[in-house]
Amino acid sequence: MPRLVMKFGGTSVANVDRIRNVAAHVAREVAAGYEVAVVVSAMSGKTNELVAWVKDADALYAETEYDAVVASGEQVTSGLLAIALNKAGIRARSWQGWQIPIHTSDAHGSARIEGIDPTNLDAGFARGEVAVIAGFQGVHAETGRIATLGRGGSDTSAVAIAAAIGAERCDIYTDVDGVYTTDPRVVPKAKRMERVTFEEMLEMASLGAKVLQVRSVELAMIHRVPTTVRSSFDPPDAARPGTLICDEDQIVEQQTITGIAFSKDEAQITLRSVKDSPGIAAAIFGPLADANINVDMIIQTVSGDTGSGGTATTDMTFTVPAADYQRARAVLDAQREIIRFGQIEGATDVVKVSAIGVGMRSHAGVAAKAFRALAEKGINIRAITTSEIKFSVLIDAAYTELAVRTLHSLYGLDQA
């Protein structure tokens, strides 16, 4: 029999009524002939409650104990859904990560899945049982301790399980009905996509679209697991298919640009009058990397000025996650004697707007068109990065909506 993984997030299992609704969605797929594994998150709000208790007990908590506490949220949902399925006449049992087992690294709080043994799940399917799996967690083999995958980790659990059991598809049920060309709250004309490639979805998730955890898209891409994003709020007997994330060759009409993403989680730092000597980039970015701060966009402008020693100086502009802004400045200040910059400036009221599409690979001038359109609207571009299938611009946060709407129209994404 073909297999299917269905994943339900926190709002989809927020209370017992919603869990009954999930059971009805599962019943539909069982009736359609699938062997089903369901992956569940904690009831919405529960993880936040548990995290608050942990932080109250000690702001500098041990990650191992954080994991023991917060993993309980998914445990509760898995048992309740198994009960609701049994009530609906469907054989089901709950599985905790350690029972399957799902082996993880020992990076507690943000562990990586290292392997899933499908033997126990296979035996359950052979008994005609739906497997209801607590998402977001596994067990570290050597210590036997519960490890969680980090916030949103249930998406990753679902895709990894789909790969391990050879599922035909992984359906991620959530409170939206698919992936949109951009955030519909910003652009009311945003369209739901029928299909999007793994590569595009990965860029969109990385660049600020919050619909899926980045790691889950990576895994889906690596293991070629067709994955959908669809709504658990559709009636179970009239559920729409949502958005399919799939291989490029499964998409007939490929557009140049498929989506516009934006992220407000950016801060800009500029170092003025940096002595432009060999190794200067390493002197700046080495210490930031050591402090676990991810540097994204980097622009180096040769200013043409010469310093007192006669060497040329340059301005260095780059972005860091907004949460790391103050820490990054402190790291750089501590290195001032080594880097020898004139001044440090920064801005947190910036936003990164990105356009994504595999069609960029075969079309020249896609980005140039955008720069022109933004300039015409009077939007100043502070920095640019590009890759094979996306480009990003850093602009003042005040222009976010204007920029996103401009690009959305420019690439023909507005709903008819």
| Sites of contact with its own copies (CB under 8 A) | 16, 19-20, 50, 53-54, 56-58, 60-62, 64-69, 71-73, 75-76, 78-80, 82-84, 86-87, 93-94, 96, 98-99, 144-146
If the CB atoms of residues 60 and 252 are measured against its own copies, the closer one turns out to be 60
Task: Kindly tell me which of 87 and 264 has the beta carbon lying closer to its own copies.
Answer: 87
Q: E strands within 323-396?
A: 343-356, 383-387, 390-396
**In 278-365, which residue ranges form alpha helices assigned H by DSSP?**
280-290, 325-334, 336-339
Contacts of 288 (CB under 8 A, 6+ apart): 295, 320, 328, 331, 332
Closest-CA residue to 148 (of 158, 138, 161): 138
Closest CB to its own copies among 84 and 393?
84
Rounded to the nearest whole angstrom, what is the least distance from the CB of residue 52 to its own copies in the complex? 9
Residues β-bridged to residue 241: none
Residue among 98 and 391 whose Cβ is closer to its own copies: 98
SS3 145: strand
Which of 80, 320 has the CB closer to its own copies? 80
Tell the residue number behind the tokens 């609704």, with chain if given.
21
Please name which of 135, 141, 138, 148 lies closest in space to residue 64, comparing C-alpha atoms. Answer: 148
In the complex, the smallest distance separating the C-beta of residue 168 from its own copies, rounded to whole angstroms, is 27
Closest distance of CB 305 from its own copies, Å: 53
- Torsions phi, psi of 295, nearest 5? -95, 135
Q: Are 238 and 188 in contact (CB under 8 A)?
A: no
Closest contact distance (angstroms) between CB of 8 and its own copies is: 15
- Our CB check for its own copies shows the closer of 69 and 283 to be 69
